[in-house]
Each structure stands twice: as structure tokens, then as C-alpha cells.
Amino acid sequence: MTGSFDQPDMYDRLGQALTELDEDADIAFNRLFYLSTAPSFFPVIAKMLGERELHRREGSEVRMIVEKPFGTDLESALALNRELLSVFDERQIFRIDHYLGKETVQNMLVLRFANEIFEPLWNRSYVDSVQITAAEDIGIGTRAGYYDQSGALRDLIQNHMLQLLMLLTMEPPVSFDANPVRDEKVKVLRAIRPPTPEEVPSMAVRAQYGPGKAGGEEVHGYLDEEGVPDDSTTETYAAVRLKISNWRWAGVPFYLRTGKRLARKNTEIAVRLKPVPHLAFQQQGSLGVEPNQLVLMVQPNEGVSLSLVTKIPGARMAVRPVNMEFQYGTSFLSQSPEAYERLILDTMRGEATLFARNDEVEAAWAICDPILQAWSQMPGPLPQYPAGSAGPKEADDLLEGDDRWRPL
Amino acid sequence: MTGLETPGVWSAEGTSPGAIEAALRQLLEQQYQESEAYVPARVLNLIAIVDREWRGEIVNRLERLGRFHPSRTIVCALEPRRDRLDAWATMTTHHGSSPGSLAVCEERVEIEMGQRHIDGLDTIVDPLIVHDLATVVWSPHGHDDAVDALVDLADVFLIDSVEAPAPEAAIARAEQLLQTGYVVDLAWLRSTPWRERIAATFDPPAWRPSLERIEEVVVRHHPESALSALLLVGWMASRLRWEPGAMLQQNGSMLARARTRKHEVKLRLEPEARQSVPGLAGITLATSAGVSLSLDRGPGGLAAKRRLRDGRESNYVVLGASRGETGILGEGIRQALLRDPTYGPALSAASSMLGSA
């Protein structure tokens, strides 16, 4: 079916083709429209589907998948939601975030809510800090046109990483149906106070990769990538420190960082517990004691690792941390469905638990918008970090107390 | 111990760190498909930087490490004019898998690379190290520039300071590395039996006062192992709070004096031409009370001789065969997980004896 997105007869031909399929099978098939276009066309397509009466059908379900980005700021997100909801009901709209289709991300819910061991510790009394990392070792490749309009905060933090944060910190839902889960998720975002413009420099850091090495080879800096303007102030690295102001998490720093051309590809969530209150063991002669850490590995390694302090075999009471590890690849020996496979199948089944609801999207923008606005007022050039490194040194300024970034 | 088993091998030419890392993950999964008894060791990462030409010797040493093997060994084999990265990876178990038991696997990666890769060596190695494990860097063929490129990744530097061309250079390098990480010095580990024996001699309460009466220390060493002798007297000086002075050369020996609270101690390092193996040959301690203790390398252990003031002598052997060079390397890897608080002060004392010369 060819035609432009605002061309009414194209939708008529589409409707006719769908009707023929139904008639041939003598079944009123459900219909799923998958909008994987430039975001500016989302409202256009939704409006045309409505005008040509393709958005509802007696006896079958009509659904729509919308790809990210769900807006470029709070205002555009509100406008997009308004326009989509003027045609479709919220229950028909499936905003896809492929991170939620990953086994390791879904396992966060199982880990938290099917294991009694963690829940008593999952609060400000025992958790010292949390780091959520989404590091990429590659640059922007040929995506300069998209990326330079977006940047790291919009591309990763506003959606994927806040989703991880929500799943990690939400209260137990009464059931794993879509709305109970999404109700609890959105409460987390509403408990994060958006920063004032004055607060942004102390809670958010941005930077661009400069020239450096990746895999031993020389690579360009961001400003030298094809298609990137010389004076671009788009960040390829973003890190933020967030606080969730609720009973469970008050005072715990949540560090989120993402970037391109970093030392290695790694997405993980590290939950660092508080140190023991008193240590009777001698430290001299051994690596010593580190607080327990639970690491949820999302990619490329997929699994869970829990660090414990143990005695080193020998005559002395020397101790060091060791890890208990579970890895998907070695524990199940079966291929997980690709994230998109899982999510598209869920859409076909009308299962919306792993999709973002309109209020989640808006609440996420409400946190990120002030940061973007403050950054837009700050002059360039941005701080640079060498390609292939762990990121800019400015990111260390976000850390509280003795906290330090985990190695990538 | 059974022979090595290599259930899976991967190799590629013109490859990248990301591809190697993915291959390691796949090897582990393949291994599990064969038997769930295979578990990867998770103790430490060892990065060995070697000349490609001599890599076989180093790989042989690594293969004989037995239970002290690292979890993941990354051998960077340097060939000056090489342009691309070629690599192979394997998982090996030393014990095989038998019903009801686990087979601990070590992962080994060998990457052939050129001089041009050294500057960005950290960007090649970093994606390959296992998270949350200590990372040890060992560069037995020199290549200080490659080690420097890995300073931010390394927790521990495994060195052998007797391999350096001169003691001054070895000590300066060890002190430099100690600024950024922990140093395990194989030369230091070779002297462990000597230090243990000396300490044990003065452990009985009746002998402890003699420590304050030591007035002469003579250390005999292989002609190319002066540094081992220097570290030993540096250890004594730092433990006994002596203030060592400058070393002076005299007839092939090195002489110095150290000040204690009450008197001076004569220090003498003597090359022993008859010693065929590197390291220490012997030590003699003499006290102002007319007592002397000698330890000399001998068959089956250290030959000890104690002479009292009245001329009585007792001779005995402190049993304990040498661990050999493979044993020393294994001990070096084991020590990477411990912290010896006495090496740094011994090194500083040795440095001051040379630096003020």
C-alpha cells in the first residue's frame, strides 16, 4: 500500500484491503496499526485513521503501536497524547519501549516480588545508593540527523532508564495486570521532584565524546562525525542524580548515566547496600570488606550478581568480596524471544503491562524537561570526554559522600 | 591433576574486542550445553603483555599454574609491525567434569597486536575483563608503555624487579606503580622463606632482645640479584626502624650503615659467584652479644648455623624445597588477592639506600 500519510484515499484502500481479508476468512480480525515513522507523522496518521473510521470496529479490537520518542519535551508529549487520545482510547494505544521487552528487565519484577529475601532490604534503611548505567561503545554512526536533535537525555534517560528506575523502585502492585503495575510505576515518577533551573548544574551533567580510541583504533569526536554541525551542543553523555521523595526511598541517591563511545557496552543496575555498622575483622593483609552489591545485568551479559564478603582460605582471617552469579545463557539454555517479538505479541493479545501509559510519559518528561531547558540556556561548547573512556570527569561531581562510579 | 581439556575454541582474524567478548559468552553457553558441571572461575583477571616471539614460554608458565590460575587470562602478544587484531579464545578446565562434581573453568584470550595498538590498549582490554574482579597486569618482557596504558584498569601490577636492568630502575618503577595500585613483586616473594626464617628465629621471647643488638648483616646473592638482597635489608631496616644510609660500592660488594636508637648496623651485600640460580644465596646476622646466625641455600632447604658467644655451634636444615618459577608465579597470583603491608616500607628503605648513594 503506497501513499502519503495525509492522503485520505490511501486509508480507504487500506480499509478495503483489511475488509477483504476479513471477508475471505469470514472472521473479523483484530487490527493493529504499527506507527514506526518519524514522530511528526504520529498525529497525522492517527487523525486520518479516525477520519476514515479505521480506529474502531465492531466485533474486533483495533490497536496502535507508537514508537518512541513520545514527544521531544513535556509540551510536545502533552500535545501528542492529546491528539492520539482524540481518536483512540488509552487502552488502544501501546507506546513501545523495547527495554521493557527484555527478559532481564521483566525479571526485575520477578526478582523483587517472587523472592522474600530482597523485599525487607529494598528501602532507604538498607540501600545506600543505586546506579543505572546504559553505556554504548559505538558512536552515532549514520544517525546524526536523528541524534543531534535528540541527545543522550532524550534518547535513553527519559524513556528506557526511567522505566528501569520505576521497575526497580515501585511498590508491589496488587496484580500484574497493566493498570495496577502502571499505577505503581507512575507514583515513583511523581515522587521525583523536578529540579529548578538553579539545581540542574548540581544534579545533571552532559558532555560530548571527543577524539579517542575504540578497540585500539582512532575514532572521531562527535563534532567531527558526518552530519553533525560544528557548533552542536547535543550531549552524547548524560548523567543525573535523582531522589525519590517517598517513605521507602527518601535520601537514597539514584545515579543514571548513559553515553556513546564509552569504554564498553554495558547496561546494568547496581544496588549498593549500606556497609555493616561494625567490623570486627582486621583489614590489614586483605582486600577488605566492601558493602554488598546486587547487580542486575541487562546487556550484553544477562543475569544477576550478588557480591558477598567471604574469608580467604588460609590460617589468617583475611577477607575479600566474591560474587554469586546467575546468567541467563547458562541457566536456561534456551533463546529468549527478541524484545520486539515479545512486545508485538503482547500488543496482539492486548496485554499492556510492558507499555508506557500516557501519564508515565508525561511524568517522565516533567522530570527531564527542566534539565533540557536549563541546558538550552547554557552556552557551549560542552565538556568533552575521550572516546573509549569511562565518561567525563565532571560526572564525578554528581556523586554524594564516598560514592564512586562503578567501572563500566 | 588430569590433563587440560579444551572443550571449545574460537578464533578470528581482524577482529574487535566486542566480537571477542561475545565469543567468550558463547563459549560458556556451549560449555553448559555439554555439561552444567562447568563453572567459570571468578577470582581475577590477568592481563599478560608479551612479545609474540616469546609468547610460548609465558603461555607454558601460565598453563602450569594449576589451582592458582586466573579466571580470565588475556594475553596481549605484541608484534611490532602488526596492523590488525587477530584473536583466539578458549575455556579450559584442569579437572574435567565427573558426575556430581563441578569443573572450574578458566577463560583464556590471546590477542595478537602491533605496536600501534599500545597507545589504545586500554580500549582493547577493557571490554574483555570480567566486572568486579581484581585485574592484574603482568608484563614479563618489559613494555612499560603498555602497562602505563592500562594503569586505570589495573588493581594489581605483577612485576619481577630482578628482571630490570638495574636496581635503581627497578625500585623507581615499583614505587611508581605503587602510587596507582598494589604491587606483587616476584623477587619479593622469592625471599619469603628467608624472611619467615629470620622472623621465626627471633620469635621466642628469649631471643627478641637480640634484635636490638644486631650490629652486622651480610647478605649473599646471585651476581644479578642485588635487588633481592637490597629488598631483604630494606625489610629488616623498615621492620626494626633502622635509618639506613647510602650504599657504597667496594670490591664488588655494596656497603652501608644503618642507625638504630643506640648504635650502628653494618650492612653488606655480597655477590656469590658460585650460585647458579637467581636470588639470595645466604645471610649472616651478628649481634653485639657475640651471637651469629647464618642461613644458606642448600639441598632440600636452608642450611642454618647458629654460633653462640662461647663458641658453641648448632647446625640444622630448615626443610622446604624451592617452589620453582611456576610456583612463584602461582604464589604471585594468589598474593594479588591479599595485601602485604611490609613490601612498601621495605621498598622505600631500599630506595633510600640507593637514592642517597
Residue where a domain terminates, one of A72, A98, A124:
A98
Alpha helices in A191-296 (DSSP H): 200-203
Task: Give me the domain span that covers residue A80.
Answer: 8-98
CATH number for position A342: 3.30.360.10
For residue B106, what pLDDT band results from cuts at 50, 70 and 90? Answer: confident
For residue B192, what pLDDT band results from cuts at 50, 70 and 90? Answer: very high
Residue to test with chain B: of A264, A271, A404, most B Cβ within 10 A:
A264
Label residue A333 left, alpha or beta by phi (over 0 means left) and psi (-120 to 50 means alpha): left
Amino acid code (one letter) for B93 = T
Q: Would you state the pLDDT for residue A379?
A: 85
By CB neighbour count within 10 A (0-12 exposed, 13-18 middle, 19+ buried), where does A120 fall?
A: exposed
Would you say residue B177 lies in a domain? no
Task: Give me the domain span that covers residue B274.
Answer: 190-355
Residue where a domain terminates, one of A80, A98, A116:
A98
Would you say residue A248 lies in a domain? yes
Q: Do residues A78 and A107 both lie within one domain?
A: no
Q: In which element (H, E) is residue A205 found?
A: strand A204-210
Q: Using one digit for the tens of pLDDT, what is the confidence trace for A97-129?
A: 998 998 888 899 999 999 999 999 999 999 999
Residue where a domain terminates, one of B107, B128, B154:
B154
Q: How many domains does chain B have?
A: 2
Q: How many domains does chain A have?
A: 2
CATH number for position A23: 3.40.50.720
Instruction: Evaluate if residue B326 carries a pLDDT over 60.
Output: yes
Scored b (16 or more CB within 10 A) or e, A75-104 reads ebbbebbebbeebbeeebbbbbbbbbbbbb
Is B165 part of the contact surface with chain A (CB cutoff 8 Å)? no
Chain B residues with beta carbon closer than 8 angstroms to that of A287 = 134, 337-339
d(CA B151, CA A54): 62
- Window B:232-271, CB contacts with A under 8 Å: none
Is B117 part of the contact surface with chain A (CB cutoff 8 Å)? yes
Q: Do residues B202 and B134 both lie within one domain?
A: no
Q: Do residues B127 and B210 both lie within one domain?
A: no
Would you say residue A247 lies in a domain? yes
Top-confidence residue, A310 or B5: A310
Residue B213 CB neighbour total at 10 angstroms: 16
Q: Using one digit for the tens of pLDDT, what is the confidence trace for A4-55?
A: 999 999 999 999 999 999 999 999 999 999 998 888 899 999 999 999 999 9
Residue where a domain terminates, one of B106, B126, B154:
B154
Would you say residue B106 lies in a domain? yes
d(CA A107, CA A114): 10
Would you say residue B183 lies in a domain? no
Would you say residue B170 lies in a domain? no
Amino acid code (one letter) for A381 = P
Q: Residues of chain B with pLDDT > 90: what percent?
A: 63
Q: Using one digit for the tens of pLDDT, what is the confidence trace for B335-354?
A: 888 889 999 999 999 999 99
Q: Do residues A12 and A50 both lie within one domain?
A: yes
For residue A289, what pLDDT band results from cuts at 50, 70 and 90? Answer: confident
Q: Do residues B132 and B210 both lie within one domain?
A: no
Q: Do residues A69 and A129 both lie within one domain?
A: no
Taking an 8 Å cut-off on Cβ atoms, the answer to whether B124 and A216 are in contact is: yes
Q: Do residues B38 and B134 both lie within one domain?
A: yes
Instruction: Evaluate if residue B67 carries a pLDDT over 70.
Output: no
Q: Which residues of A are designated catalytic? A: 160
Arithmetic mean of pLDDT over chain B: 89
Chain B residues with beta carbon closer than 8 angstroms to that of A294 = none
Would you say residue B171 lies in a domain? no
Chain B residues with beta carbon closer than 8 angstroms to that of A284 = 339, 341
Alpha helices in A55-143 (DSSP H): 74-85, 103-113
Taking an 8 Å cut-off on Cβ atoms, the answer to whether B131 and A407 are in contact is: yes
Residue A404 CB neighbour total at 10 angstroms: 10
For residue B148, what pLDDT band results from cuts at 50, 70 and 90? Answer: very high
Would you say residue B61 lies in a domain? yes
Instruction: Evaluate if residue B356 carries a pLDDT over 50.
Output: no
Residue where a domain terminates, one of A76, A98, A120:
A98
Q: Do residues A271 and A365 both lie within one domain?
A: yes
Q: Across the A/B interface, how many CB contacts are shorter than 8 Å?
A: 92
Q: Do residues B135 and B240 both lie within one domain?
A: no
Q: A216: closest CA among A390, A388, A391?
A: A388
CATH number for position B328: 3.30.360.10
Measured in angstroms, the CA of B43 and the nearest CA of chain A are apart by: 8
Would you say residue A407 lies in a domain? no
**Strands (E) located in B190-288:** 214-221, 243-244, 248-250, 253-259, 264-271, 280-287
Instruction: Evaluate if residue B38 carries a pLDDT over 90.
Output: no
Is B119 part of the contact surface with chain A (CB cutoff 8 Å)? yes
- Window B:133-162, CB contacts with A under 8 Å: 133-134, 153
> Once rounded to an integer, what is the mean pLDDT over residues B283-301?
91
Would you say residue B228 lies in a domain? yes
Q: Would you state the pLDDT for residue B357?
A: 40
Would you say residue A261 lies in a domain? yes
Residue to test with chain B: of A330, A331, A385, A405, most B Cβ within 10 A:
A330
Chain A residues with beta carbon closer than 8 angstroms to that of B339 = 284-288
Q: Would you state the pLDDT for residue B159?
A: 95
Measured in angstroms, the CA of B271 and the nearest CA of chain A are apart by: 33
